[in-house]
Each structure stands twice: as structure tokens, then as C-alpha cells.
Structure 1
Amino acid sequence: MMHKFLMSVYKEILLLKRDFGGLVILFVMPLVLIVTITLIQDSTFKTVSDTKIPVLLVDNDHGDISKTVKENLNQSGSFEIVTEINSQKITESIARDEVFKGKYQLAIVIPEKLSSDLQLKVNQNVNKILSNFGMEDSTKVSSKNIEILPKEVKLYFDPATQLTFKNGVKSAIDKMISQIENKSIYATFQDQLGEGEAPIFDQKSFISFKEIVPKVDNKEIIPNSVQHNVPAWTLFAIFFVVVPLSINIVKEKSQGTLVRLITNPVPYAIVILGKTATYLIICMIQFWLMVAVGVYLFPYLGLPVLDINGKMLLMSTVALFSGLAAIGFGILLGTIAKTQEQSAPFGATSVVILAAIGGVWVPVFAMPKIMQYASHISPMNWGLNAFYDVLLRNGGFVEILPEIFLLLLFFIIATTIAIGYDKKKRAV
């Protein structure tokens, strides 16, 4: 029995050696993908965080509010304020045209008399409150009867700008204006009630936000593009063995190789076991190559290093069981398919679909509810969660055990169905 198994493995190795194109797909394509996608995503991250984005600013106010907005934009380090184009002062119409043509991503238009009208409105409100308490200062010039219309700070966005960027900018501008309004209210009360120059109101923020992230050796673990892309595209590469594996099984059936093997006699389970062992070795080589790229090549490309200290054994375990799930799916597809024209397109398409719903391309939390539920049926989602447990959540073997069990169960069910289907077909 052992001899038959070893011969089956040897046969699979010979088939792979003859298929140079298949080997290129299995080993070279995933490496190109992981480098390309990680470079693109890391460059996008750096563009947002490190490189200053030019922002057109039309200041029709020339008051405290516009001054504060400029200071906040400069201090953020993310924006470069542009007030002139070709030595010409920017107007609202120029800013709108430039942004809508895609030359700039954002323009901020501050309306006239925003600072002075805000102060008048605050004075009205404060005077109204104080008069209700019988504390209105009769020496102050009353502004009760002056009608002050609401003001709009206009934001022009390039139509191609992402929604997340728009929401981030709107939130930041709104926060700035709110802080200015609050300070104006405090200052006006201070002016009406205060004695001397000592402040009677504490204007420091009472509520703040603190991000708590996991720590190792008192160092914060900050996830990066490499920690997300290496496991994600490793799984994509591992599951792509479905295509050559299913094609080889169909070839064996169409060329009569499988019939000759079984008449030796060799049980179909031994044939499957030989394929499983061979392709499992391929999956592990793919995994080790991807990890080597993350550890040794990425630093030379200016990307973060993949930290695998004390994690390699658990990561290899996840890769092993992910490989089993992929092989089980490939065996099932190759057993059921009648022609290569059926197995190849269906195998490639199904892998892409499993990757899409499994969170390889788009995070599961960003999907619609129905797709979040659907993601739970994807073996790639199980493998990806297990990798994240190890790399990002510092999980141990117990934490990845549920995902490993699901991957193993998927392999057992798929191969059992394949063996049962083949047995029934030959009986007929």
C-alpha cells in the first residue's frame, strides 16, 4: 500500500514537471500579485498620511475663523494651502472649475463676514440669556434687533474623490468650526461676567479619545499593509491549486490513465492521497515563498517587514490546513467535471468568488450584511481569520482551533463526496 502511495506521488510530480506553465501560475503569479498589491496599498496609505494634499482656500472672511482654519490645516500636516494659481488670487468660480476638472481634490470657500457675524450671533444669544437673569449690561451696545442669516462654509470635491476622504474632511472642518463657536461663546460670557483678566471658564477639552492597541514587550502593535496582504494573497495562491489539480484529474479520466491505475488495482482513495500529499507540498512551498518575500524582499522595496517572531509554527499550521481545504475542493471539482473546459473556468471563477466573499480584497466588515453572512461559508475567510489571529491578535493554537477544524472538515467532506461520486459512477 505504501509503495502504491509513493508511486502515486511520483506520478503527480512527473505531471507537474511537464506542465511548466502550470508551475509558473502556481509560484510566480502569486509572488507578482503580493508585491504589486502591497506596493499599491502601501503607496496609497503613504499618500494619505505622509504626502501633503493641495487644498484650494478662498478666504472671503479675513477674520479669526479663517485664520483658525488655516492654522489647523497647516498643523494637521496632511494639507498644503493654495490661495493663488499662476500668481492670480483664487475666487470661488476658479476654485470650483479647478476642482471639478480634477486638478485639485478639494476647495474650501469661507464666506464673507463669517467671524464678525458669528460674534454678533453669540452676543445676541448671551445677552438673551443674561437678560433672562436680569444681568444684562446696559452699557453694552445691543444687537438684539439685527437679523443674522446662517453662513455656509462651502466644500468643493473632485467627483472622483473617495467617500471616506470626503467624510473625513467634512468631519474635520465641522470640528474646527464647532471649537471656534464654543470659544466665542466662552469669551463673550467672560467679557460680560468676568472681572479682571483672569479666565473664569476652563476652555480645555474635558473629553478626549485614546486608542488602545495590543502590546508586546511594551511596544504597540500597529497593523500595516504587509500583515494584511501576505496572509490574504497566500490564501489566494494556495486555493489557486484548484485549477491545475482539477485539470490533471480530468486529463487522467479522458486519457484513460485513471482506468489503468484502478485496474492495477489501486483504490481511488490512494490516488487521491497521492495528489493530496503532492499538492500539499506545493501549498507549503507557496506559503514559505510568500513569507520570505514579506521578510526579506519588502524592506528593499520600502515596505514594512513582516514580523513572524514566534509565529511561524502557527502560521505554517494555518497554511497546512488551508492547503488541505483547497486540495479537497480541487479533487471534488476534478472528479465531477467531465472536460477541461468545465474544470478550468469554473475552478478559476470559483476561487475568485471565494476570495471576494472571504475578505481577501474587501474587508468583511465593509460588506453589506447579506455578504457578511455569506463570507462565513468561504474557506478563505476561515484561513484569513486564523492568520489574523496569529499575526494581529497574538492568538495561540487554541484561538485558531475553530478555523482549523472547519478547514479540515471541508477537506474531509469534499474528498468523501469525490470518492463516493467516483465509486458510484464506475459502478454504473
Structure 2
Amino acid sequence: MLYKIWMSIVKEFLLLKRDLGGLIILFIMPLILVITVTIIQDSTFKTVSDNKIQILLVDNDKGSVSKTVFDNLQKNNAFDIITQIDNQPITEEVAKENVYKGKFKLAIVIPKDLSVDLQAKVDQNVQNIVSKMGFTDSIAEPKTSKVLQQKEVKLYFDPAVQMSFKTSVMNAIDKMISQIETKSIYTTFQNQLGEENAQFEQKSFITFKEIIPRINNKEVLPNSVQHNVPAWTLFAIFFIVIPLSINIVKEKSQGTFVRLLTNPTSNLIIIIGKTITYLMICMIQFYMMVAVAIFLFPHIGLPSLNVEGHLFLMSVVALFSGFGAIGFGILLGTIASTQEQSAPFGATSVIILAAVGGVWVPVFAMPKIMQIIAKSSPMNWGLEAFYDVLLRNGSFVEIIPKISLLFLFFIITTSIALFYDKKKRTV
């Protein structure tokens, strides 16, 4: 039996050898993919980006509020503030036109008299509060209140920018304006009550601090490499579905499979031979991706992948992910009648599994129904297992449920393929 399995493995390698171009693509394309995507996404994991975003600032206020906004934006290393174009002050129409044409990502328009009207509104509110507290005798009577219209800080975004960028900018500006209003209120109270009678602490009382997990007394900071290498390694492993299913279809169309069945060899032996062969390919892919992340990434300005204490468990996850991919490839190759069926369907299904499984878009960012569907994707099981090991410092026990699901998926898909093939040949 061992000899038959060995010969089946030799047969699979001979088939792969005949398609060297496909084999090179199988190894080289994932490497190019992981390098490209990691370089692109690396800046989103850095606290300071080397590429500043140019934003237009239209100051119709010319007061303390607009100066504070300008100073705070100027301190932010992510932005490059532009107030003039061709040595001319920017108007709202010019800013709008430039942003909507995609020349700039954002324009901020500060309304006229914002500083004056804000202070007037704060004065009105403080005077009303002070008078109700019974301090009207010691404080001058409030002037007749005039109706002040609500002010709008206008934001013009390039229609092509992502919603996440819009949200983050709007939240930052909203926080900035709130701080300015709060400071104005405190200052006005001090002026009304007398500086010697009230000293207000204007620093934020509540602050936020991220507690970073530690391994061996070292902080583990998640970066683009730790997120991308597992994701695109998994994508590469599942991409073997295409050559595996094509080879099975070739065997059927060329009569090789029929000749194999005439020998005293069961279909199970053939399946075992394919499984071992493609598992070897999956593991080679995995170790190539890891090697590139460890040795090449630091030379191209990317963080090195730290696999200290994780490599064995990562290898286990890669092995069982390979089982899942092989089971799916065997099922697809058994059901498909032609290469024209297996190749496009295999490529499309792998992309769908990747998208649903969280390889491209994080599962938590998906709609609720898609989060439920994601739990049924083999890629999601493998990706979560990789993250458990690499980012959450999980043990073997913690990844058992996920690798068990991957192996069960392999058993189910392979069993369906064997049953389908037997049923088809007996009809």
C-alpha cells in the first residue's frame, strides 16, 4: 500500500512538472501579492505617515477660533495645511472646485465671525446662569440678548475618498471645536466671577491609554506584516484549488483516471497521493512567505515578521488549512467535466471565500448577516487560527476548534467527491 501511495505521489509531481509555468505562478504570484499589499497597507499601521495629506483651509473668521484650528491641524503630522493657491487666499468656491476635481482630498471652510459669535453666545449662556445663581448684584446686568444663528464649519471631500477617512476627519474636527467651546466657557466664567475667585483646570480629566499585550516582557505591537502575511498565505494555500482541480479534470478527459482504476488500486489511494503531494506544496508556500517576511521585508522598509515561539503552531495551522484547500480542490475537480468549468469556478470561489472570510475586509466591519456567513468560510477558520497564534499568543488547545473544522471540511468534501465519483461510474 505504501508503494502505491508513493507512486501516486510521483505521478502527481510528474503532472505538475509538465506545467512549470503554472507551478511558478503558484509560488511567485503569492509572494508578489503579499509584498505589494503589505507595502500599500503599511502606512495605515504607522502612527506617523511619511506622506502628508494636503488639505485646503478657507479662513473667513480671522479670529481666535480659526487660529486655534489652524495651529492644531499644523501640529498634526498627517496634514499639510494650504491657505493660498498661486499666492492668492483661497475662497470657498476655489476650494470646492479643486476638491471636487480631485486635486485635494479635503477643504475646511471656517465661517465668518465664528470667534466673535461663539464668544457672544458663551457670554449669553454664562450671564443667564450667573443671574439665576443670584450674583446679579455684584455683576453688571447682562446686555439685551441678540439672536445668534448656529455656525457651520463646512467640509468638502473628494468624492473618491473612503468613508473611513471622512469619519476620522470629522470626528477630529468636532473634538477640536468642542475643546475650543469648552475653553471659552471656562474663560468667560473666570472673567465673570473674577480671576482671583475661580481657577479652572482646563486640561482633560479623562484620558485614554492603550494597554499593549506583552510576551516575554516585550510589548507586541500589531503591524501590517502580522496582519497581511497570514491572510495572503492562506489565500495562496487555497489557490492550489485551481491546479489540483484542473489536473483531476485532465486525468478524466485524457483517460488516465480510467487506466488507474483498471489497476488494483482504489480511488482512496489516488486521493491520498494527491493530498500528500499538495500538502507538500502548501507547506513550501507557507515557509516561502514566512522567509520573505523575515529576511526580505526589513530591506524594503517593512517590519520583520516576528515568529519567535510561534513557528510550530503556525505550521500546524498552515497544514490544516492545506487540508481544507485540498478537499475543496478534489471536490471541484471531481464534479467539473472540463477545465473551462473548473478553472474559472475555482478562481472565483477562492476569491469569494477570501472576501467572506475576512482576508480583504475585517469581519467586524461587515454587516451583521455577513459576519454570520463569514463563520462558515474555511478561510475564516484558518485566518482566526493564525491570528490566535501570532497576535493573541494562543496555545495549541485554543486553535484546536478551528483546525478541527478545517480537517472536518476536508473529510466532508473528500467523502462527497468519492461518493459522487462512485455514483457516476455505477450509473
TM-score, length-scaled by structure 1: 0.95
Correspondence for 1:392: 391
Correspondence for 2:79: 79
* Aligned residues of 1:357 and 1:374 also touching (Cα < 8 A): yes
* Aligned residues of 2:45 and 2:223 also touching (Cα < 8 A): no
Correspondence for 1:92: 92
296-305 vs 279-288, greater mean Cα deviation: 296-305
Alpha carbons of structure 1 residues 404 and 45: separation in structure 2 relative to 1, 3 Å: closer
Q: How does 1:304-323 map to 2 (within 5 A)?
A: 304-323=303-322
Output the aligned Cα RMSD.
1.7
Correspondence for 1:6: 6
1:48-85 deviation digits (Å, cap 9, x = unpaired): 73332222112222221112111211222222221111
Q: CA deviation at 1:141?
A: 6.5
Displacement over 6 Å in runs of 4+ = none
Q: Distance in 2 between matches of 1:192 and 1:183?
A: 14
Correspondence for 2:186: 186
Alpha carbons of structure 1 residues 362 and 252: separation in structure 2 relative to 1, 3 Å: same
Q: CA deviation at 1:91?
A: 1.7
- Paired residue secondary structure (1:377): coil
Q: Distance in 2 between matches of 1:61 and 1:351?
A: 55
- Paired residue secondary structure (1:119): helix
Correspondence for 1:153: 153
* Aligned residues of 1:137 and 1:192 also touching (Cα < 8 A): no
Q: CA deviation at 1:8?
A: 0.7
Correspondence for 1:276: 275
Correspondence for 1:267: 266
400-409 vs 158-167, greater mean Cα deviation: 158-167
Q: How does 1:15-94 map to 2 (within 5 A)?
A: 15-43=15-43, 49-94=49-94
1:267-293 deviation digits (Å, cap 9, x = unpaired): 000010001111110000010111111
Q: How does 1:166-181 map to 2 (within 5 A)?
A: 166-181=166-181
88-97 vs 378-387, greater mean Cα deviation: 88-97
| Unaligned 5+ runs, structure 1 | none
272-281 vs 73-82, greater mean Cα deviation: 73-82
Q: Distance in 2 between matches of 1:275 and 1:139?
A: 91
Correspondence for 1:420: 419
Alpha carbons of structure 1 residues 7 and 194: separation in structure 2 relative to 1, 3 Å: same
Alpha carbons of structure 1 residues 126 and 281: separation in structure 2 relative to 1, 3 Å: same
Q: Distance in 1 between matches of 2:312 and 2:121?
A: 66
1:279-336 deviation digits (Å, cap 9, x = unpaired): 1100000101111111111111111111111110000000000001111111111112
Q: Distance in 1 between matches of 2:151 and 2:315?
A: 60
Q: Distance in 2 between matches of 1:137 and 1:272?
A: 96
Q: CA deviation at 1:137?
A: 5.5
1:299 equivalenced with 2:313 (yes/no): no
1:157-184 deviation digits (Å, cap 9, x = unpaired): 1111221111111111111111111111
Q: Distance in 2 between matches of 1:72 and 1:140?
A: 35
> What is the number of equivalent residue pairs in this alignment?
427
Correspondence for 2:356: 357
Q: Distance in 1 between matches of 2:159 and 2:72?
A: 25
TM-score, length-scaled by structure 2: 0.96
Q: Distance in 2 between matches of 1:250 and 1:158?
A: 49
- Paired residue secondary structure (1:49): coil
1:369 equivalenced with 2:368 (yes/no): yes
Q: CA deviation at 1:220?
A: 2.3
Correspondence for 1:134: 134
